[in-house]
Amino acid sequence: MPDLSLDPLLFQIPLHPWITKTAPYAFLSHVLVLLSQTKSRTLILNTLTNALRVLIVHDSDSIIPSMYMISNTLAPPYIPIELGLGPAVISRALQAVSGLSAAALRKLYNTYGDPGDVAFAAKASVRTLVPLLPLTIQGVYASLIKISQAKGKGAAKLRQGVVEHLLLSARGEEVRFISRTLSMHLRVGAVRTTMLTALAKAGVLTRPRGSALPTDSPYFASEDLLDRILTPPEKANKKSEIIDKARREVIKKMLDAEALLRTTFVQHPNYNDIVKAFLAGGWESLAQKVPLTVGIPLHPALGSPMRTLDEIYERINGVTFSAEFKYDGQRAQVHAFYEAGQTKPTIKIFSRHLEDMTEKYPDIVELAVDCLSEPELSDHVDNTLESFILDAEIVAWDAEENSARSFQELSNRPRKNVQVGAIKLAVSLFVFDIMYLNGEALLSRSFRERRATLRQKFSTRVMPPIRGGARLQFVENVDSDGPDGREAVETFWEHALESQCEGLMIKLLDSGGATGEVGLDDVSLSPSKKKGGRRKPFPATYEPDKRTSAWLKLKKDYVDGIGDSLDLVPVGAWHGNGRKAKWWSPILLAVWDPKLARLVAMCKCMSGFTDAFYTALGERYPENSPTCSREPIGSYHVDYGGVSAPAIYFLPGEVWEIRGADITISPVSVAALGEVSGTRGLSLRFPRFMRIRGDKAVEDATQPSMLTEIWCRQNGSRPKSTVDLDEGDLIDFEGENDEYDEEDI
């Protein structure tokens, strides 16, 4: 196998990387081995980039299956394709293939923990009498799809048969990664941002077969350009200058391609469509071939957290804005359209992390259908609605009291097969933005324009208050315009504090400039720069998957203390002491670092949990299971820094809302390492569990930049030298007196 970890600018694609007609699974398992052996993002990117380049040249049909399997998925998040394989099915198949008894296999699980390592050890001595055909990338992916589609009578037998065939045909390291793939617990650092970067680079360096890209393409490095890097000139004194210039030119093309690909992906998150468009003509026509499409969810715009109205006014520096209620419900993206030749409209409802939840809200479906105009209406009618994408919040609603209910009540609604007539708790769709209307994307328009369009088109389209029927409402808001604008906003904030909402969303009505930091992604890295005088533009356009200062959120929780509500990921735990000996306590929590594409351990938490929660936690994370192991598991790399290794590792998947006393410099945490201290990271003192954020994915968790921003705010009013150091090992000790926990029951 070629050395895929080389610098892609120096990597030479082999002429014959395999002898089979299509790419063997052995090639993909080789890639996975390299990825699992390093935490270096550079080496991970090199490996992925070079692997994709080989596939572009020798088997482009294997690119999409490879990307999904490396990403530990089978399809885009909005397409509900799941393997649905429990550990028992895999264990039975492994017993059948290896000949081991259940007791012997259980012993291997106790020894290794990881399902891939167990499978590798179990099959180490197995020899087949008749050699089986080697697995291919496309064949393995097809088998996974076959497993996911097995339904009804005989499905269990069919699934186990496919699993047995895969394990029996796998050789060497293939066994390890086939098993991990079947368990959906790959241990490689190929998250979405990494995959997109690698694909962009591969497309710049390698021309799709049959394409005729111009040599001056901004997204393609010609052979002549690459030759200047690989073949230095005869005169040694010009060597460095020519090579450096050529490298800079190629890197510029890579960065441009990556920006284009990320912009396209957040509006149209589908590897299939993106790869097919690339293979048909490079990156040049990507935006035209893969546009924002009704029926395919785009990543939602995000808000940057703030602590006070004073900070908000300082940040936006006089730019007009709208203050809206931030409702305590479920973020929803509603798509409505008529497919070609159809008279019945198609309605899709997607969650914050793009999962299809249409079946959960048939009342919202009826509401959306009621909003659409009949297809025979003429186009010149100003209020015609043929297709739209709305950004909204679904809120449990008390029709009699005309008031919001709690999010907890909404969360009790079943996920599937909900019938309108059986709905006991009505909902209201609070619409606050429109991204698409009648075949036209509106992302580039200002929020003022989008809001005007939204209210004009939907002002009269509200379902009657029938039993089980949903309502369409606009978010309650006030604008900052006018001489009494600030007083109106402050009064509105007081109204928010007294209401059932979470706080306020502050949204710029028009694009403008402001002094200071632009958002969490651009936060100053030291307190001395916190009040810088630079001005940067604030776009009032809709920015998918971005957390900017054009959208700011002021939650009630942020006002108490130092803005200490964080969204953290549980990544490990220790065995409890005393009464807690039967539970996991404390729990190790991590932030998500998008720059490193990994989780970073930050603090331990042992407060705010009830006995019932501890019990349920143990059921979700039983020891020596696919979700809880003595070895790190899952597709997310976790940087544990200087914290002592937890007794067991959780499969990262949940996001918890945590509150605490303040952000402090820590001698062991490496979260935001170097941001405020050259040798130490940041941690949270006295963290306390609030709730599970079922509406958030791992990559939606709090980022180190937010910790930096909170720390800088804390120290704006006191000298840096007086900041308390967290000298413990990520400790939030309250003593082993468990009576503290009883208050939460």
- C-alpha–C-alpha distance, residues 28 and 21, integer Å: 15
The amino acid sitting at 476 is E
Q: Helices 87-98 and 173-182, interaxial angle, to 10°? A: 150
Contact 716, 527 (CB under 8 A): yes
Q: Which of 201, 326, 507, 580 is catalytic?
A: 326
Dihedral (Cα; 119, 124, 127, 130), 10-degree rounding = 50
Other beta carbons within 10 angstroms of residue 131's beta carbon come to 9
Beta bridge pairs of residue 330: 394
Give the neighbor-by-neighbor strand order of the sheet with 503-508: 302-305, 547-555, 503-508, 321-326, 477-479
Backbone torsion region of residue 503, taken as left when φ is above 0, otherwise alpha when ψ lies between -120 and 50, otherwise beta: left
Helix (H, G, I), strand (E, B) or coil at 521: helix
Contact 361, 538 (CB under 8 A): no
Work out the burial of residue 742: count CB atoms within 10 Å of its CB; fewer than 13 is exposed, 13-18 middle, 19 or more buried.
Answer: exposed
Sequential DSSP letters for 403-464: EE--HHHHHTS-SS---GGG--S-EEEEEEEEEEETTEE-TTS-HHHHHHHHHHHHTT----
146 part of the active site: no
What is the rounded end-to-end Cα distance, in angstroms, of the chain? 58
- C-alpha–C-alpha distance, residues 252 and 240, integer Å: 18
- What are the CA-CA distances from residue 620 to residues 400, 644, 654 (Å)? 38, 23, 10
Backbone torsion region of residue 567, taken as left when φ is above 0, otherwise alpha when ψ lies between -120 and 50, otherwise beta: beta
- C-alpha–C-alpha distance, residues 704 and 675, integer Å: 9
What b-and-e string marks burial along 229-252, b requiring 16 or more CB atoms within 10 Å of the CB?
beeeeeeeeeeeeebeebbeebee
Tokens linked to 187: 């241990």
Contact 479, 510 (CB under 8 A): no
Helix (H, G, I), strand (E, B) or coil at 56: helix
Contact 319, 514 (CB under 8 A): yes
Beta bridge pairs of residue 684: 663
How far is C-alpha 278 from the chain's CA centre?
Answer: 24
- C-alpha–C-alpha distance, residues 505 and 517, integer Å: 18
Nearest of 581, 588, 583, 617 to residue 602 by alpha carbon: 588
Tokens 């009342």 map to which residue? 363
Backbone torsion region of residue 545, taken as left when φ is above 0, otherwise alpha when ψ lies between -120 and 50, otherwise beta: left
Q: Phi, psi (5° rounding) for residue 391? A: -105, 125
Contact 559, 281 (CB under 8 A): no
Q: Classify residue 531 by its DSSP letter.
A: T
- C-alpha–C-alpha distance, residues 166 and 181, integer Å: 11
Contact 203, 280 (CB under 8 A): no
Contact 135, 69 (CB under 8 A): no
- C-alpha–C-alpha distance, residues 312 and 321, integer Å: 10
Helix (H, G, I), strand (E, B) or coil at 367: helix
Active-site amino acid positions: 326
